[in-house]
Amino acid sequence: MNNILEIKNLSFAYDNNNLILDNINFTINSGEYVGIVGPNGAGKSTLIKIILGLLKPTKGEVKLLGQNIESFNNWSKIGYVAQKAASFNSSFPATVEEVVSANLYPKIGLFKRIKKKHMEKVYEVLKVVQMEKYGKRLIGNLSGGQQQRVFIARALVSSPEIIFLDEPTVGIDIHSQENFYNLLEELNSKMNITIVMITHDIGMITKKANSVAYVGGKKLIVHNANSDIPLSHVLREIYGDEMHLLHHL
Ligand SMILES: Nc1ncnc2c1ncn2[C@@H]1O[C@H](COP(=O)(O)OP(=O)(O)OP(=O)(O)O)[C@@H](O)[C@H]1O
Ligand SMILES: [Mg+2]
- Atom 11 in ligand 1: residue holding the nearest Cα: 41
- For the segment 20-49, what is each residue's pLDDT rounded down to a tens digit? 999 999 999 999 999 999 999 999 999 999
Answer for the pair 10, 59: CB distance below 8 angstroms, yes or no. yes
- Atom 29 in ligand 1: residue holding the nearest Cα: 41
Task: Sort residue 60 into left (φ over 0), alpha (ψ -120 to 50) or beta.
Answer: left
Rounded alpha-carbon distances, angstroms, from residue 188 to 163, 184, 205, 243: 10, 6, 14, 30
Task: Sort residue 31 into left (φ over 0), alpha (ψ -120 to 50) or beta.
Answer: left
Ligand 1 environment, Cβ below 6 A: 14, 20, 38, 40-46, 83
Work out which ligand 1 atom sits closest to the CA atom of 15: 4
What 3-state DSSP class applies to 125? helix
- For the segment 134-179, what is each residue's pLDDT rounded down to a tens digit? 999 999 889 888 888 899 899 989 889 999 999 988 877 888 888 8
Whether the predicted pLDDT of 221 surpasses 80: yes
Side chain identity at residue 93, one-letter code:
P
Whether the predicted pLDDT of 68 surpasses 50: yes
The CATH architecture annotation of domain 3-246 reads: 3-Layer(aba) Sandwich (3.40)
- Report angle CA 144, 148, 154 to the nearest 5 degrees: 145
In angstroms, the CA 58 to CA 55 distance is 9
Chain-centre distance of CA 113, in angstroms? 29
- Atom 27 in ligand 1: residue holding the nearest Cα: 40
What 3-state DSSP class applies to 4? strand
CA of 44 to the centre of ligand 1 (A): 8
Domain boundaries, the chain: 3-246
- Atom 3 in ligand 1: residue holding the nearest Cα: 14
In angstroms, the CA 231 to CA 35 distance is 14
Work out which ligand 1 atom sits closest to the CA atom of 14: 4
- In 3D space, the residue among 220, 181, 188, 184 whose CA is nearest the CA of residue 36 turns out to be 220
Task: Sort residue 240 into left (φ over 0), alpha (ψ -120 to 50) or beta.
Answer: left
Ligand 1 pocket mutation, candidates 17, 45, 197, 200, criterion most atoms within 8 A of CB: 45
